[in-house]
Amino acid sequence: MENITKNFKYVDYLWDEAKAASFGDNQVELFLYRSNILGADLRITNYGGGNTSCKTIEKDPLTNEDVEVMWVKGSGGDIGTLTRSGIAGLYTGRLRDLKNVYQGLHDEDRMVGLFNHCIYDLDSKAPSIDTPLHGLLPFAHIDHLHPDALIAVAAAKDSEKVTKEIWGDTMGWVPWQKPGFDLGLQLEKCLADNPGIRGIVLGSHGLFTWGDTSYECYMNSLEVIEMASEYIEKKLKEQGEVFGGQKVESLPKEARLEKAAQLMPLLRGLCSSENRMIGHFSDTEVVMEYINSNDLERLAPMGTSCPDHFLRTKIQPLVLELDKNEDLSDSAAILKKLEPAFEAYRQEYADYYNTCKKDNSPAIRDANPVIIIYPGVGMFSFAKNKQTTRVASEFYINAINVMRGAEAITEYTSLPRQEAFDIEYWLLEEAKLQRMPKEKPLSRKVALVTGAGGGIGKAIADKLAAEGANVVLTDINEEALKEANGTYARDVSTYAICDVTSVDSIASAYKKAVLEFGGVDIVVHSAGLAISKPLEDTTDKDWNILQNILVKGQFDLAKQFAAIARQQGLGGNYIAIASKNGLVAGPNNVAYGTAKAAQQHMVRLLAAELAKDKVRVNTVNPDGVIVGSKIWEGAWAEGRAKANGITVEELPAFYAKRNLLHEIITPDDIANGVFSLVGILDKSTGNIINVDGGMANAFVR
């Protein structure tokens, strides 16, 4: 490529020459490297969006002859995280031979099945619908991307004319068409009609660019995107205002977060009328500029244009008619205001489905909105898990950028509803959904665990996360929380400093949980400490700290959780981590044993009161959890050893020998007890599960 500059203003130049050189002449590794750095810039393509490829000469394993093989991102992958296992390797010649059997647009779905007859690499990921778009073009390296700036051009009125104005004769243009084999033929024809072009704009869809090497392809993609971005920014400056100017003024940041935290459990409950959902909130500058604008009322119902956008966001958002200064403290009153809007949205979606469906269309899917807009406050999204809802939010922000650019260029245009439906309810898209792995038992649920900076609390959080839950770790030790939170993958966890003796601190932790995930379904009160002293040595301070952390803390956590659970209307689980000592009388234990007994009886009282809200309340009683438990550090262990006439070092063996099974009890065992109550025993409440290896004097009955 001639005259390519590395000084890009609107995209990030991320090519590392030393890193690239480490791959030598391995074109597949260079293609994967290019893919990853392209996917690292959300202005270029979002999670799961676009696809990339390269072509190499390989030995045919049957003939030993040289053959051309195309390596391309497989179905459902993400270029930003693409690895060797996520690509498909196909004989390019065989793929092109499919032109001989293609029968027209009605034949598209059959053609996807035929891609498997073109497989070269037997470890290939399933080829995507875009495979022929790469295979029918002759270039060694190809990028198909969804940059905001390019989709703005593609979705603008007079898109073909605008394309020529920006790039002259160096770029081709093809009108909107559903991805498939015929679109590949259209790209092939566009190139034949316009030899020497550097790329093709796909109407309402995205961009194809290419190069002889991975680096040239990368630079070509960046420069084409940069030129579109510069053009749009020039138009925006000429226009002077965006989206018709501001209609609503944003609330201050803290006020927006407070409103969002108050509203999210209600929205989550409404969005979960068919399936429980996880939430996400965004109030970035880009979002606020759009949702506060005069043009929101016109643009939002039009829907998104790029298929990757509306497949994740639904065709259009729900715009709330609540005033930004609405008093949200009366949940019942706000719910009455919100319900008609949700009912109308669901009905409109059903009408869209019934109007556009075909004889072989899949059944209607969840009709609830994915994107919800609250002018002056922010944008909410709700989907099956945190990653999906975060990505939906990111995709709608991409759509905002597209609308912004298209409106600056000429005028934004969206896909006709029938075209959108044909993508959303495509049988191939349905097949992809059916291939998704089965959800885990606690998928779509949010768990808040106290004392989760280590020990039993962390083990419980680990177990709940492993079973599919999002976890909110709370503790008074921030360093321990940071370390614990760092053990989870993205979109699984968050943490909040929480002193359970403070009502305000508990409220702050719940607010963090609600803003991060939309609500709370499971609360496990594992925070605690243990004090073992004879009666005469037990002080008021000892008594009060145990009562405040174990008993009052449990009460305040339960009270605030019950309010959130009622807002959501989805039921829930509250688990108290108590102790065998709440059931068994022993020496040197009056303050601790009394507090644990109070926890156990409070569980029974809460179970009786919260049953009407489908909130189940249960107790897990550990005993003798010495290895890995925080409370067995220091004075408590010394006190228990003294009470039993042994040394601290002898405690694990001593406690194992005294239970019926002679087993050492670990934090993981307690975590399994919690999971049994929240993930399996879905009709149990007011119960105690002893996880102690069998202590006859602690038998409940």
Catalytically active residues are: 592
CB 127 within 8 A of CB 115: yes
Q: In what order do the strands lie in the sheet with 87-91?
A: 87-91, 66-73, 51-59, 141-145, 206-211, 199-202, 171-174
Extract the tokens encoding 605: 């009282």
Extract the tokens encoding 152: 């703005």
CA dist., res. 341 & res. 79, Å (int):
37
CB 108 within 8 A of CB 102: no
365's CB contacts (< 8 A; 6+ apart) are none
Residue for token pair 């020039």: 234
CA dist., res. 372 & res. 320, Å (int):
7
Residue 58: strand pairing partners: 67
DSSP class of residue 694? -
CA dist., res. 269 & res. 304, Å (int):
26
Residue 204, judged by CB atoms within 10 A of its CB (0-12, 13-18, 19+), counts as buried
CB 451 within 8 A of CB 460: no
CB 48 within 8 A of CB 5: no
Residue 447: strand pairing partners: 471, 522
DSSP letters spanning 608-647 = HHHGGGTEEEEEEEE----TT-GGGSTHHHHHHHHHTTS-
CB 576 within 8 A of CB 619: yes
β-pairing, 206-211 with 51-59?
A: unpaired
Q: State which amino acid sits at residue 178.
A: K
CA dist., res. 546 & res. 538, Å (int):
11
H-type helices in 91-213, by residue range? 92-97, 108-114, 131-135, 148-154, 159-167, 181-193
359's CB contacts (< 8 A; 6+ apart) are none
Instruction: Please work out, in degrees rounded to the nearest 5, the angle formed at the alpha carbon of residue 259 by the alpha carbons of 256 and 263.
Output: 135
CA dist., res. 205 & res. 151, Å (int):
6
CB 507 within 8 A of CB 531: no
DSSP class of residue 251? P
Output b/e per residue, 156-195; b: 16+ Cβ within 10 A.
beebbebbeebbeeebbbbebbbbbbbbbbbbbebbeeee
680's CB contacts (< 8 A; 6+ apart) are 441
Residue 646, judged by CB atoms within 10 A of its CB (0-12, 13-18, 19+), counts as middle
CA dist., res. 548 & res. 487, Å (int):
30
Q: In what order do the strands lie in the sheet with 470-475?
A: 493-497, 470-475, 446-449, 522-525, 572-577, 615-622, 688-691
